[in-house]
Amino acid sequence: MGKIAVFGGGSWGTTLAGMLAEKGENVHLWVRETDLAEEMSMKRENTRFLPGVSLHPSLQISPQLPDVMRGADVFLIVVPCQFMRRVLESVAGEFPDNPVVVCASKGIEQSTVSPMSRVVAESLRGKNPRYAVVSGPSFAAEVSRRLPTAVSLGCAQKDLGEELQKRLSTEYFRVYVNEDFHGVELAGALKNVMAIAAGIADGLDFGLDARAALITRGLAEMSRLGEALGARARTYMGLAGMGDLVLTCTGDLSRNRQVGLKIGRGMKLQEILDEMNMVAEGVKTTEAVCALGREKGVELPISNQVHEVLFGGKSPEKAVRELMTRTLKCE
């Protein structure tokens, strides 16, 4: 049996590592914080990011990334998107040639407005990585409780996609393959911006009508930008698009929705981020998405208003009013 190296001991990385170890895979998990790695090894629980969930006895945990990587045939990357390049470049020499790299993080690199596929390719230049991405409606807290979940696996190589589909699927975690890996990874990033928007509307008590409208028009916006960047429109009607969008816009376990809720209730962004112990990828992704929209000439009214609220000091009420009073048009 091959070895799966999981990068990242947050809630999602811990959940995926534990799930695959329970399935019988040989899984080694890299946890950056030495004290947390030692505690997880002893207590068999991630008390910081996934409290109350017992880790499978066979799961190996280490703060030493080269040790985790050694002998692996699949590298499952679950680190925050803004740090992914730094992490991969720091151990690029440890990867074998043609490594299988599966990304389970959702976002766009802010400094380069690059999707994770490009970050992986550039960070491992010369290694010729084979890339796949896992995305879709999946809260770590629910998957860790073995609740039924379905996700998309974006992979351009059909044979590799089908092999990974078998290795990652369990009786409660169902994986669908989609060759449009670019659409899958972009949908996973873009929906986080819409989750912030939906949270703001709910924080303002604008009601269910407003939330439904934001989800629907948000999907249109995501699809518009995705197509401009080379993705397929139909990908946005699937699990990585509509499925994940509905989940993050309505589920209170969504960190991005929680950011929006608190802003709608009057808190400042920095206050919110200071009190969070996990990353809300949508905050940084908002800046990257708006930059991509300008670069491609794509109209992104919701994303642009979220950006103005987060970084431009605009009041949420004014942002919503401007969205509602834009020039009338056909759907």
Residues noted as catalytic: 191
Question: Considering only CA atoms, which of 63, 42, 120 is closest in space to residue 86?
Answer: 120
Question: Considering only CA atoms, which of 151, 153, 32 is closest in space to residue 100?
Answer: 153
Helix, strand, coil shares of the chain, percent, nearest 5, are 55, 15, 30
DSSP summary character for residue 242? I
Alpha-carbon distance of 266 to 198, in angstroms, equals: 15
Residue 301 burial (CB < 10 Å; 0-12/13-18/19+)? middle
Cα 51 to the center of its chain, rounded Å: 20
Question: Is there a contact between 258 and 252 (Cβ–Cβ < 8 Å)?
Answer: yes
Question: Is there a contact between 57 and 29 (Cβ–Cβ < 8 Å)?
Answer: no
Alpha-carbon distance of 6 to 20, in angstroms, equals: 10
Alpha-carbon distance of 305 to 16, in angstroms, equals: 34
Alpha-carbon distance of 201 to 211, in angstroms, equals: 7
Alpha-carbon distance of 70 to 62, in angstroms, equals: 12
Alpha-carbon distance of 7 to 10, in angstroms, equals: 9
Alpha-carbon distance of 259 to 116, in angstroms, equals: 23
Question: Considering only CA atoms, which of 226, 247, 83, 56 is closest in space to residue 146?
Answer: 56
Rg (CA), the chain: 19
Beta strand pairing status for 45-46 and 50-54?
Answer: antiparallel
Alpha-carbon distance of 156 to 245, in angstroms, equals: 23
